């Protein structure tokens, strides 16, 4: 059995006798340094994908204005939103955006509200084909920082917009 191994080795040596070894070139595969803007964009995409699902179907009203309030929110807050007592500090216009782009923008708006201590914001989805008008309330229900939303009054866009009430934490609320 040893003779066979030796002959195999010798035959292999004969086969590779004229081959030159490859020159080793060293490559350093380091991750490129990302800019602050790239990191923020990636973080927004991560937040949007972790909060908003397209398959979740919450129980929303089918008749009347679009409205929703979290369980721990007083129903008076919905009435205040409907009457326009809250003035939105930030406005988001989603006209002409795709669903994926709108989802990222919505997540960025909620983060901006929390960062700037804005209690209320306005999301203008427009009429169009109705896809954003249908999807945006479903996305808003899923976000843990959204306390309530209601169809906006006429001065803020009417039935083509939503006023959103954001939970900004333990800080005193502004009106």
Three-state SS string over 79-118 comes to HHHHHCCCCCCEEEECCCCCHHHHHHHHHHHHHHHHHCCC
- The topology (CATH level 3) of 57-166 is Ribosomal Protein S8; Chain: A, domain 1 (3.30.1370)
pLDDT in tens, 6-20: 678 888 888 888 888
Instruction: Kindly list the domain boundaries of the chain, sorted by start residue.
Output: 57-166
Q: Residue 76 in contact with residue 82, Cβ under 8 Å?
A: no
Give me the phi and psi of 120, to 5 degrees please: -130, 145
Look over the chain and give the mean of its residue pLDDT values, rounded to a whole number.
85
pLDDT of residue 27: 76
* pLDDT tens for each residue of 19-59: 888 887 777 778 788 888 888 877 777 766 667 777 888 88
């Amino acid at each position: 059995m040893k003779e066979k191994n030796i002959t195999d080795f010798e035959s292999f040596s004969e086969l590779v006798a004229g081959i030159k070894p490859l020159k080793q070139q060293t490559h350093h595969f380091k991750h490129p340094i990302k800019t602050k803007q790239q990191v923020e964009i990636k973080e927004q995409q991560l937040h949007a994908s972790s909060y908003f699902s397209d398959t979740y179907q919450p129980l929303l009203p089918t008749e009347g204005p679009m409205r929703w309030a979290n369980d721990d929110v007083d129903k008076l807050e919905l009435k205040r939103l409907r009457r326009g007592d809250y003035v939105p500090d930030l406005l988001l216009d989603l006209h002409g955006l795709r669903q994926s782009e709108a989802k990222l923008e919505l997540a960025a708006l909620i983060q901006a509200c929390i960062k700037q201590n804005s209690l209320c914001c306005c999301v203008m989805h427009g009429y169009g084909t109705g896809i954003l008008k249908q999807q945006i309330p479903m996305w808003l229900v899923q976000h843990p920082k959204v306390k309530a939303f209601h169809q906006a009054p006429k001065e803020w866009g009417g039935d083509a917009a939503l006023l959103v009430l954001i939970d900004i934490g333990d800080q005193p609320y502004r009106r």
